[in-house]
Structure 1
Amino acid sequence: MKVYIGTGGYTNEDWIGEDLLYPPGTKQTDFLSIYAQHFDAVELNSSFYGIPGLKAFEGMAKRSAGRTRMAVKLNKVFTHDQTPQDSDFDRMLQSPEPLREAGIMGPYLAQFPYRFHRTPQNRKYLQALAERFAGHELAVEFRHQSWDKPEVREGLREFGLIWVSPDYPPVAGVPEPSLHVTADVAYLRLHGRNSGNWWSGESAAERHDYRYTQAEMDEWAAKVAFVDGEVDELYVFFENTTKGHALKNIPMLRQALIAQGIAVTEPKPLQDSLL
């Protein structure tokens, strides 16, 4: 099992500073090249707000020097508006081609909102979406607990979809923090456990304001070890990027995985690293 570990996005202003990822004065255009020297995976968030064109993805592949796998989040028209046109599918499927050519294309990520319950209408929509993305790895995150059922995961398995295993705060209405496998690729998103802000937080930064303990990382490492041998690849993404929490948690998880006998690759900085 190859394990890829990274964060949700790489453009974080609060990662700039002494003893952080980006040295003081770093320009945003240099973020990815520095990020790729330390992490072998990243979720691209920009595609959720606007689907980048070929040149944008070409630039990402170049700046990452082919070192970092990139999971591409589906644009909100697919998951939140649920009104995609043929042109949206064409652009979403074709624009990341430079990532495929560079060998760094990870799964697509369909992040559905909490209001996307398991209803007949939504089940039909998901099936239609899966058919349009057939032949591509598509990971699906459900935030409402109505989807957290064995029969749903069996359905995803039949369609070749990847169940996103989430770690949410211990609040009512969300899926349980378990690692499930429905394809040759597994996908884990760690959102933090800030129960107080999960529903009331005014921003994603507030909701994800949480730093995991070593004990919590040990728990997830044990779950990963349990599925070792069942999958070819595992993607682990930390969404608690605010205040640099993810930067502190990733080494903790790496340590916990190594203790479980799981091989983890830590990218080595290039010779011209700014760090």
Structure 2
Amino acid sequence: MGEVLIGTSGYSYRDWVGPVYPAGSPSGDFLRLYSQRFRFVELNFSYYRMPEADLLKGMQRTVDSFGAMATLGASELPAAGADTGSGDLATPGAGTGFRGFRFAIKGHRSLTHERPGGEKLQRDAEAFRRGVSPLLQAGSLAAVVLQFPYSFHYTDENRRYLDALCMALADLPLVVEFRSLDWLRGSVALGLRDRGAGLVAVDAPSLPGLPGAEVSTDLALQAADAEAAGPNTADPMAAATPNTAAPTAVATPDTAAPTAVATPDTAAPTAVATLDTAAPSPVLQTQPGAITYVRFHGRNSETWWEGTNVTRYDYRYSDTELSEWVPRIRALQGASRILLIAFNNHAAGKAVQAAERLQQLLMPEKAD
């Protein structure tokens, strides 16, 4: 069984002072306090400004100095996240040894939203790589999350761009999140696999055009054997050398739905092969020894399109909603070396509550 690390998307929120961090905590203490609760965080500041090596060196020193105590896959872990009655979440108990803190980091918006081409893409990719180099050198960089907007649709131009971006960052452990459902097809996932990148599974509102929380246990279990399917022969880039630094999760088409063999674009190889025009049916696939990734955005349908970055993700998960993921996570855990789970419903500390509650739900039951 692979290790499961649960954390949040971001940690530096002023509205976490009180619900998560002690009253009066300065922002300079946030990462230290966070690392006492979790062993994994997804950094999202890097979407707004290019990461700088000195800043990430400082973060690495912080987590090296303060052992993080929340882990899964370790039977000695005490229960965490209980309600203290004061509105705070209980900090996991002491006694769990520090076994290394891991970071994921979100790709800069120039790479996923502005999407430069040619030399500008290479310069931006190199700047991003330099910025994250301290984490890479420390062995704490678990994933680079390339989250594309809903407006990034499955077109030849965008497929070529995705291919170029994966090549420009080929030495980093990449995972790709699509907000547009038209990308969720088996050929895309296989194309990502051939480039050493993974496909992010998401929990999001059930809205037309969005990839929601519909990934089922059965599809996740099918994924465990997908490595036997071999290379994506329809992809003109299938022979590309994968990113051996950190293979990641991918998907494969529903075996019940016939797929079409695409004709490669002879003018310019594309990132992925095309698929049958039938409705896409995503199947989450994991490779033995892979890193897999799940992001929880909340299910706030009312504010998803018109809301702000706060109101869109202002959502409290119920036990029922989190419990739906337990068998899926167990299936992914069984086929992965490490599974990373990031909660993005950050308003007022709700991400911390959900992360710690999911951790409790995943704890093995003790016999009486």
Q: TM-score, normalised by structure 1?
A: 0.89
| Unpaired segments ≥5 residues, structure 2 | 66-99, 221-283
**2:310 equivalent in structure 1:** 205
Q: Is the 8 A contact 1:110 1:140 kept in 2?
A: yes
Structure 1 distance, partners of 2:104, 2:164, is: 21
Contact 1:71/1:105 (CA < 8 Å) preserved in 2?
yes
Between Structure 1 and Structure 2, the one with more helix by share is 1
Identify the residue that residue 6 of structure 1 maps to in structure 2. Answer: 7
CA distance, structure 1, for counterparts of residue 363 and residue 188 of structure 2: 32
Task: Provide the identity percentage.
Answer: 37
- Whether 1:125 and 2:168 are equivalent positions in the alignment is no
Return the index of the structure with the highest Cα Rg: 2
Name 1:78's counterpart in structure 2: 111
Q: Secondary structure at the match of 2:104?
A: strand
Q: Which amino acid aligns with 2:202?
A: P
Deviation per CA, 1:25-67, whole angstroms, max 9, x where unpaired?
1111111111111111111111111112211111110112274
- Residue 146 of structure 2 corresponds to which residue in structure 1? 110
Structure 1 contact 181–231 (Cα < 8 Å) conserved: no
| Residues 41 and 103 in structure 2, CA contact (< 8 A), matched pair in contact too | yes
Which residue is 2:295 aligned to?
Answer: 189
Give the superposition deviation at 1:102: 2.6
Q: Which moved more, 1:140-149 or 1:130-139?
A: 130-139
Corresponding residue SS for 1:72: strand
Runs of 4+ in 1 over 4 A off after TM superposition: none
Q: Is the partner of 1:3 in helix, strand or coil? A: strand
1:268 aligns with none
Q: Which ranges in structure 1 are unaligned for 5 or more consecutive residues? A: 262-275
Number of aligned residue pairs: 258
1:254 aligned residue (359, 362, 366): 359
Partner residue, 1:87: 123
The DSSP-based 3-state class of the residue aligned with 1:4 is strand
Matched, 1:222 2:327: yes
Q: CA deviation at 1:259?
A: 4.4
Amino acid at match of 1:79: T
Q: Distance in 2 between matches of 1:238 and 1:187?
A: 11
Following superposition, the deviation at residue 159 of structure 1 comes to 1.6
What's the RMSD between the two structures over aligned residues? 1.7
Q: Which moved more, 1:20-29 or 1:187-196?
A: 20-29
1:95 is matched by which residue type in structure 2? G
Please say if residues 161 and 182 of structure 1, whose CA atoms lie closer than 8 Å, have aligned partners that are also in contact: no
In structure 1, C-alpha distance between the alignment counterparts of 2:34 and 2:45, rounded to whole Å: 16
The amino acid that maps onto 2:177 is E
Give the C-alpha shift of residue 137 in structure 1: 0.8
Measured in 2, the distance between the counterparts of 1:139 and 1:181 equals: 13
Q: Structure 2 length normalisation: TM-score? A: 0.67
